[in-house]
């Protein structure tokens, strides 16, 4: 298990966060690095998540832009 939460912006930047107490929300770790969700899809460990989803050390948060069209 990692001692950090990894944040990946799809096609963009990568960050690492170390939440106080080992736990935080998706929103907290994104804002720590200035990542604005702006309607983008979010996943934690490959599963759809919301801004209030808790994250713990070792988790990976992925931020993916919404895709339009069909």
pLDDT at 30: 93
For every residue of the chain, DSSP letters joined together read --SSEEEEETTS-EEEE--GGGEEEHHHHHHHTT---TT-EEEETTEEE-TT-EEETT-EEEEE------
Give all domains of the chain, ordered by start, each with its CATH number: 5-64 (3.10.20.30)
Q: What is the pTM of this model?
A: 0.86
pLDDT at 39: 84
Q: Return left, alpha or beta for 43; rule: phi > 0 is left, psi -120 to 50 is alpha, else beta.
A: beta
pLDDT in tens, 14-70: 999 888 888 899 999 999 989 988 889 999 999 999 999 999 999 999 999 877 665
Through-space distance between the first and last CA atoms of the chain, rounded to whole angstroms = 39
């Amino acid at each position: 298990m990692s001692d950090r939460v990894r944040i990946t912006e799809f096609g963009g930047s990568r960050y690492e966060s170390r939440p106080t107490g080992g736990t935080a929300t998706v929103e907290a770790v994104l804002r720590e690095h200035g990542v604005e969700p702006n309607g983008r899809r979010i996943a934690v460990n490959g599963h759809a998540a919301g801004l209030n989803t808790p994250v713990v050390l070792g988790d990976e948060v992925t931020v993916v832009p919404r895709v339009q069209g069909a």
